[in-house]
Amino acid sequence: MTQRLLIKNASQIVTPKGNSAVRGADMKDVAIYENQSILIEDGTIVAIGDNPAWEKEIPTERQVDAKGKTVLPGFVDSHTHFVFGGYRADEFLWRMEGMSYMDIMERGGGIANTMKATREASEDELITHSLDFLKKMLAFGITTVEGKSGYGMDYDTELKQLRVMKRLEELQPVSIVRTFLGAHAVPPSYKDRNDEFIDFLIRDVMPTVAKEKLAEFCDVFCEKGVFSIEESRKLLTAAREQGFKLKIHADEIVTFGGSELAGELKCTSADHLLHASEAGIKALADNGVVATLLPTTAFCLKEPYAAARKMIDSGCAVALATDFNPGSGFTNSVPLMIALAVIYMGMTAEEAITALTLNGAAAVDRADRIGSVEVGKQADLVILQYPSYKFLPYHTGVNIVETVIKNGEIVHR
Ligand code: NIG
Ligand code: FE
């Protein structure tokens, strides 16, 4: 029997439109429907309108009254590192006292610190730890999250992180897109032997990840003092040959050329971009690479924000994501991210919505299925407590998500 759900009389339904990333000036052109309803059948949006017959046909327990409320597409957090062992609260406070992220990393802290704890954690421990984070994400309206490996940097632990994400998909409602980030740092056992480590990943780890379909994307931390442009190019090129789609951590700490490399390789997304050059921004726009910006990381690192306004004005498709991780930004607060994007990065509320929905979906290659409220799309929806999307930045830093619908079912309220 067809399972139906009716979201009725929403004060506003606000959504970007289409099946691909929205670029440049088009990012602000969201559709706004007033006092309309959404009809869902078997997890798919089948109609948007105000047909009075729907209320009569559908049992009341399958109706959600959205009067006075705003409906948006479910949020897509397209860049996180949410599966990890241990915490790094001390490092956060050291940074506040003036130590830099790279100072801490060079002294054996940072990613290497989380690597030890993640290697030691069992699969079940990682599952329990991650379930708590996923529950918090859902409450913020995140219906799809990307998660990366990269805290193992050895064969067993990289696979363990990816398998944990695969198991987590069965245990809770948030969809998880898996990314292999073996090249997150050079582990101590390969110190000063970057080449050999890259070869190890390509030869010994990637084929298993590909064969067992444990990840859809491959990513690399392309940064001064981590992986060079040449090393990143070699890894990503091999990854594409083995069937992965590509992502890159680019120009996060210094201007390094990662954005240009993303353009050259036509990566699906280039992420961070705090220090992307003019040529780098152009390379992203020209090659249709989604520019994924992570404002809470810049905030927690006390770094300047990425040039969102300039990127949009240059024709880029910008996505917003949390980068949730135990080091550079231990926060998955969507309201904080929206506040930073609108208050400090010059994004409009409409652009922020597009960035967090359809462009986030494009950054994980799902824009044909999710990211907008349109007939034919999967019914992943967020209902806000207030009658206008403008409350998202206006009720600054406060979570106003009231109800979350995943695949046509209420999963949080
Ligand atoms: O995106 N830059 C590299 N990776 C993460 C941080 C990971 C960590 O510090 O544990 C990031 O900021
Ligand atoms: Fe990251």
Q: Give per-residue pLDDT as tens, 25-42.
A: 999 999 999 999 999 999
The predicted model gives 122-143 an average pLDDT of 98
Asked whether residue 108 carries a pLDDT value surpassing 90, the answer given is no
pLDDT in tens, 49-64: 999 999 999 999 999 9
pLDDT at 182: 98
pLDDT at 73: 99
pLDDT in tens, 189-248: 999 999 999 999 999 999 999 999 999 999 999 999 999 999 999 999 999 999 999 999
Give residue limits of the domains in the chain: 4-72+372-412, 76-363
Residues with CB under 5 A from ligand 2 (ion): 323
Look up residue 329 and give its two tokens: 């930004």
| Fold for the domain defined by 76-363 | TIM Barrel (3.20.20)
Asked whether residue 172 carries a pLDDT value surpassing 90, the answer given is yes
d(Cα 184, Cα 226) in Å, to the nearest integer?
8
Give residues with Cβ within 8 angstroms of 161, minimum separation 6: 83, 118, 126, 149, 150, 151, 152
d(Cα 332, Cα 292) in Å, to the nearest integer?
15
Phi, psi for 272 (deg, rounded to 5): 90, -85
Asked whether residue 107 carries a pLDDT value surpassing 90, the answer given is no
Do the strands 75-77 and 401-406 form a parallel or antiparallel pair, or are they unpaired?
A: unpaired
If we measure between CA atoms, which residue out of 393, 394, 272, 401 comes closest to residue 337? 393
Note the helical H segments in 121-173.
123-139, 155-171
pLDDT at 258: 98
Binding residue numbers for Zn(2+)? 79, 81, 249, 323
Cβ neighbours of 349 (radius 10 Å)? 19
pLDDT in tens, 219-236: 999 999 999 999 999 999
> CA angle 375-338-18, nearest 5°?
25
CATH superfamily of 4-72+372-412: Urease, subunit C, domain 1 (2.30.40.10)
For residue 348, report the distance from its CA to the centre of ligand 2, in Å: 24
For residue 239, report the distance from its CA to the centre of ligand 1, in Å: 20
pLDDT in tens, 376-402: 999 999 999 999 999 999 999 999 999
Hey, whose CA ends up nearest to atom 1 of ligand 1? Answer: 323
